[in-house]
Structure 1
Amino acid sequence: MEYLGYFASIIIGLSLGLIGGGGSILTIPILVYLFKVDPELATSYSLFIVGLTAISGGYSHYKLGNLNLKSAFYFAIPSIISILIIREVIFPQIASTLFTIASYAVSKDLLIMIVFAILMISAALSMIKDREITVINPKTNYKQLAFIGFLVGIVTGFLGAGGGFLIIPALLFFANLPMKEAVGTSLLIIFINSAIGFAGDLYIGTVIDYKLLLLISGMAFIGMLLGIQLSKKIDGDKLKPIFGWFVLVMGIYIITKEVFF
C-alpha cells in the first residue's frame, strides 16, 4: 500500500504540471488512505507538499513574467489572517468527538474528510464543465479580491488544500489578470498560504514525520517535472475533464466510505 502511495504521489505533481492544478485535491486522500496518516495531521502534511510544488511552479512563471505581486499580496494577506485564525485558534478547540447520533459518533476526523470530499466534488464539477470565464469588470476590485482571499484562507486553513480552483477565477474576475498571469500569481499565493499554515503548525508543536513528508514531496516534484515535459506534447485542457471525473469518483467514494463503512 505504501508503494502505491508513492506512485499516487507522482500523480499529484503530474496533474499540476499537465493541467496547472488539481493535484493538491488528491493529497489528503492519498495521505489518509494509502499512508494511514491521521486526517488532522494530513492537513499539515498537505500544506507542506502543496506549498513545495507551488513554489517550484511559481518560480517557472516568475521567469516568464507571469506574476502580479500587487494582486498576490492583496489576496494573500487576508488569507494568512484567516489561515492563522482557523489553524491556531479554532482548529485546536474542536473536540475529537463533535456529537453522537444514536450509536454513531461524528468525529473531527470525519468532519474533515466529509468537507474535503465536498470540496473535491465541487472542484471536479468545475473541471468537467470547463467553462470559459468572461471578465465583466475591467478594473481591479481589490476589496472584493481581499474578501475572497479571506474566504479561501478558511478553506486552506481547515483542509490544507491550496484552493487553486478558487483562486484562479477570483484573480480573473476581480484582478482582471490574463489566464497565464492568474495561474502564476495563484501559485505564489498558494505557496505563501501553505508556508504560513505549516509554520503555524510547527509553532504549536505538531509532530512531523519528515522522512515520510520529504519522500512524498519528492515524488510529487518528480511528477510535476514529468507533467511539465508532457504538457509540451499533450493539451492539458483536454485532460482536465477526464481528471475531473476521476476526482468526482474519489469524492463520492470518500463520502460513501466515511459515512456507511
Structure 2
Amino acid sequence: MITTVLALVAGAVVGLALGGLGGGGSVLAVPALIYLLGFSPSAATTASLLIVTATTATALYGHAREGAVAWRTGALFALAGIAPAFAAGTLADHLPQPALTCAFSAIAALAAVRMLRPAPGTPGRTRTHPGAAAGAGAGLGAVTGLLGVGGGFLAVPALTGVLRLPMRRAIGTSLLVITVNSLTALAARTGTADALDWAVVAPFTGAAILGARDGKRLAARLSGPLLRRIFAYVLLAVAAFMLVDAVALRA
C-alpha cells in the first residue's frame, strides 16, 4: 500500500512538470523509481521510458488540439533522434550501474542550470533551420535512449532560442519529439519491460497522465519563472544526492 501511494505521488509530480514546463519531469522519474520504489538503474530507465511515452503522448494530444505544435520543426527533431535513441537504448543495459547513475546526475544538474537561466527574448518570425534542428534532435535522442529521460529541458531551450518558436509552441513541439524518441528507445529495449513491477509502473503512469493535465492549468495560473526556479532547485538536490550515491557504489 505504501509503495502504491509513493508511486502515485511521484507520478503526479512528474506529470505536473511535464504538463507545466514541457520537460524536466522525466528527470525526476528515474531517481524516484530507484530511491523511493526500489528499481535498479537499468529497470528504472526502462520504466521511465514507458511512463514518459504514455504521459507525453497524452499531453501532446491536448496541445495539438489547440494548434500549439510546430509539426515540421518537431518532425526534423524527431527524425534526427531516432537512430541515436535506438543505439543508446541498446548500449544502456551494458553500462555499469555507477556509471549510469553518474551520467544521470550530470543530466539532472544540466536540466537545473537550463531552468535557472533567463528565458530567451521574444521570438521573432519562426524559421526552421534544418542543420540546427537535426543536431539538437540527434543529441536529444541519445540522451533519451541512454538515460530514459524525455529531454524536454534540452528541447524547449533549443526550440525557443535557436529556432525562435514562441514558448507555448515550443512546449507542445517538445512533447512530439519526446514521444517519438521515447518510443524508439523502448523499441531498443524489447523484452526488458517484462521484468518490471507493473503494480508500481501502472499507478505511476496513471498519476503522471493526470498530473500533466493539472500541470498545464497550473502553469497558466502561476508565474512561469517561479515554477522553473523551484523545480530547478529540486533537480540540483537530486543530482547531488545521486552523485554521492554513485561515488559510494564505486568505493
Length-normalised TM-score, structure 2: 0.89
Shift of residue 133, structure 1, vs aligned partner = 4.8
Q: How many angstroms apart in 2 are the aligned matches of 1:112 and 1:32?
A: 12
Length-normalised TM-score, structure 1: 0.86
Q: How many angstroms apart in 2 are the aligned matches of 1:152 and 1:220?
A: 22
Q: How many angstroms apart in 2 are the aligned matches of 1:242 and 1:173?
A: 22
| Counterpart check, 1:255 vs 2:237 | no
SS of the aligned residue for 1:221 comes to: helix
Shift of residue 204, structure 1, vs aligned partner = 6.9
Q: How many angstroms apart in 1 are the aligned matches of 2:156 and 2:218?
A: 22
Change (3 A) 1:166 1:205: closer
Q: How many angstroms apart in 2 are the aligned matches of 1:184 and 1:70?
A: 13
| Counterpart check, 1:191 vs 2:179 | yes
| Counterpart check, 1:91 vs 2:92 | yes
Superposed structure 1 runs of 4+ greater than 6 Å apart: none
Q: How many angstroms apart in 2 are the aligned matches of 1:29 and 1:240?
A: 19
The two structures, once aligned, show a CA RMSD in angstroms of: 2.3
Change (3 A) 1:187 1:138: closer
Change (3 A) 1:71 1:40: same
Larger radius of gyration, structure 1 or 2?
1
Shift of residue 250, structure 1, vs aligned partner = 1.3
Q: How many angstroms apart in 2 are the aligned matches of 1:139 and 1:242?
A: 32
Q: Bigger CA drift: 207-216 or 140-149? A: 207-216
Query: 5 Å matches for 1:20-35?
Result: 20-35=22-37
Change (3 A) 1:177 1:129: closer
Residue type of the partner of 1:112? L
Q: How many angstroms apart in 2 are the aligned matches of 1:87 and 1:232?
A: 35
Query: 5 Å matches for 1:74-85?
Result: 74-85=76-87
Query: What is the match of residue 205 of structure 2?
Result: 217
Contact 2:150–2:182 (8 Å) recurs in 1: yes
Change (3 A) 1:197 1:223: same
| Counterpart check, 1:111 vs 2:113 | no
Residue type of the partner of 1:124? A
SS of the aligned residue for 1:172 comes to: helix
